[in-house]
Amino acid sequence: MKYNKKPITQIVTATAFAIFSFVQSSAQIYPFQNPKLSIDARVNDMVSRLNLEEKVGQMMYNAPAVPKLKIPEYNWWNEALHGVGRSGVATVFPQAIGLAATFDDALAKQVASAISDEARAMFNVAVKKDYRLQYGGLTFWTPNINIFRDPRWGRGQETYGEDPFLTGKIGVAFVKGLQGDNPNYLKVAACAKHFAVHSGPERLRHEFDAKASMKDMWETYLPAFKQLVDAKVEAVMCAYNRTNSEPCCGNTYLLQDVLRTKWNFKGHIVSDCWALNDFYEGHKVVKNDVEAAALALKKGVNLNCGNTYSPSLVKAVQQGLVTEKEVDEQLKVLLRTKFKLGLFDAAEANPYNQIPASQINSAEHRSLARKVAQQSIVLLKNNGVLPLKNDLKKYFATGPCMSSIDALIGNYFGVSNNYVTILEGITGQVQHGSQVEYRPGTLLDRENVNPIDWTTPAAKASDVTIVALGINGMLEGEEGESIASTTYGDRLDYNIPKNQIDFLKKLRQDNTKPIVVIITGGSPMNLSEVHELADAVLLAWYPGEEGGNAVADILFGKVSPSGKLPITFPKSLNDIPAYENYSMKGRTYRYMSIEPMYPFGYGLSYTSFKYSDIKVSKATVLKNESITVEATVTNTGKVKSDEVAQLYVSHEGVEDAPIYSMKGFKRVSLVPGQSQKISFTLTPEMLQLINENGESVFTTGKVKISIAGSLPSKRSEELGAAKQTATTIILQ
């Protein structure tokens, strides 16, 4: 992001930031104030000057000030899922699942960089006023890289979908954009959550035991976390639930064997909020809060979001359950993050302190939000009515999500002073002289009380009816967020509200005029009747503050749709296993043999594409060898458009191997008639399989390699996706 590059001393001074109040002229200089020392030396000095109660206080999310050392209070809890959240005006980008639908990790890094610019700008202004509120710090508990294994999970909208490869790629890019590239300082600190094997049910999360085989752990649930650890994510948040009988925040295997020992993670571990209370209230693995604090500390939890460590960790030391030395060691890990953020250095030492408030919801960031929304929107059906002309005589805009801000923002959102609803986006692009009539038509999730119908006549009298249906964060999300949900935010009913389908049927009855449906929401849902009744269907997700403009850009053909589904839409919940079952068998595109409604990777365009001329650098591949795969993609239609080329491998004849596994994706932009050669590298690790012990093994035999514009399945072809080009290699 662009911001003023003048010398820092011309922009800010040390006195502008109370948190950076340590200057060389101080009467007493502690070693931890000396930026010339190593971080370890500074941390050790600070810890040596704290008593036990002060040490424990610094391990709380709402760490109090330590006046004797001039350490200001600091609240670790902040959110930035798709923009700085809960902290005032900020750019509201499309929800995380929408970002994943772009299949564009470079774009994800741009988004995260914009978010972290705004975060630093907000922090700089707040500290100048000595505001140190929750949601005001530089430690952000994002991204959520859990696998969206089941469409019932209300928080699936926070994730990057069902695929470990896609999740890892987008997640790594997001972390790098948040944390920046300065060799001395973090711009902000990112956090990979929720570790691990966590994806509902929401209502049971404080007591639930997720059972996962070693194969599923290492094939599905852990790979993205490993990628983010390798990318040096600063924090990892342990989940509420148990995994294989141990609470995640007290889990020897996850926290010690895997995270610290096998992966050599050096950052800090934070508990999910009040998860330590679940040790004795939900999971009942300890008797009380003191034992819970001791267990969490011994397993490696450095930061407590909740109220358990203080004062219970002090009592645990006094009772001999843990030692003060153990407290010291876990605190030292945590404090390293604060030093990396520059919280104890003079303001002019840290380049991120010059980021100005003008970055917050700037025109540049709004433009980026619009671009992301454009690329995230998925065209599910089009019988030729789209794109629309913007000078028709009359448009009828209707539906419960048409003028809704809630349909734009999803959950964990910031606020904007300029939301563009779908209605506003449409009316902003229709030419003068044309009419736009709007009526909501039906409520979000219940029948109208007033039986009078003015919408059906309006639809029949219009050249086109545009209907915004779907769900919003009141119906799906976290347990306390979804205030209209009787199932704690989960979607145990796969259908969109029945009154909406009835409304669409009424609009369609005896009406031969085109009907275009826009669906909002963050999860798969049963759209079979919508697909049959509508002439075109656009999935907009929760498209952010510029969502209305982006939807209109697609509707009127300023931009060709190019979003792809990062998650499978099954036809029915009867086609997948029980929600509480964490086995991957029968789940996601990788293991689901039943034909879905919409397959993973699917999304139509206003043009057509052809894949051809697939080539591999080696037809026979030995263990530890990489190969290059090439193919040509051609725009065979009449409209300029982006396309997302997707690489899949299938191990033929290998029992329990995934049916398909994504191993690469590339977004390309092509004008009509243009061809582009694309290439991917398949590393030895990408060609390996995971055995029942969770080990990566090289398995000989045939491997089919496919490059396509969607999952290379029969259903994709039925829906009109570009056909695959494929070849076979031999592993020996």
- Positions marked active-site: 272, 476
Residue-wise burial string across 114-142, b where 16 or more C-beta atoms lie within 10 A, e elsewhere: bbbbbbbbbbbbbbeeeebeebbbbbbbb
Q: Is omega for the bond preceding 194 within 30 degrees of 0, making it cis?
A: yes
Q: CA–CA separation, 37 vs 463, rounded Å?
A: 72
By CB atoms closer than 10 A (0-12, 13-18, 19+), residue 487 is middle
Tokens of 541: 């997700």
Count of all residues that appear for the chain in the document: 732
Structure-token match 């001791």, residue found: 294
Q: What is the DSSP string of 203-241?
A: TTTTT-EE---HHHIIIIISHHHHHHHHTT-SEEEEPSS
Provide the β-strand partners of residue 539. Answer: 378, 519
Strand 627-635 with 675-682, pairing: antiparallel
Strand order in the sheet with 268-271: 191-195, 235-238, 268-271
Q: How far is CA 729 from CA 633, 641, 664, 700, in A?
A: 21, 32, 17, 10
Residue type (1 letter), 320: G
Q: Are 729 and 651 spatial neighbours (Cβ–Cβ below 8 Å)?
A: no
**Closest Cα partner for 243 from 259, 227, 232?**
259
Q: CA–CA separation, 205 vs 402, rounded Å?
A: 34
Tokens of 296: 């969490």
Q: Are 362 and 368 spatial neighbours (Cβ–Cβ below 8 Å)?
A: no
Q: CA–CA separation, 158 vs 161, rounded Å?
A: 9
Q: What is the DSSP string of 523-565?
A: S--B-HHHHHH-SEEEEEES--TTHHHHHHHHHTTSS------
Strand, coil or helix: 290: helix
The secondary element (H helix, E strand) that includes residue 171 is: helix 164-179
Torsion of CA 53, 54, 60, 65, to 10 degrees: 140
The secondary element (H helix, E strand) that includes residue 255 is: none
By CB atoms closer than 10 A (0-12, 13-18, 19+), residue 637 is middle
Q: Are 600 and 565 spatial neighbours (Cβ–Cβ below 8 Å)?
A: yes
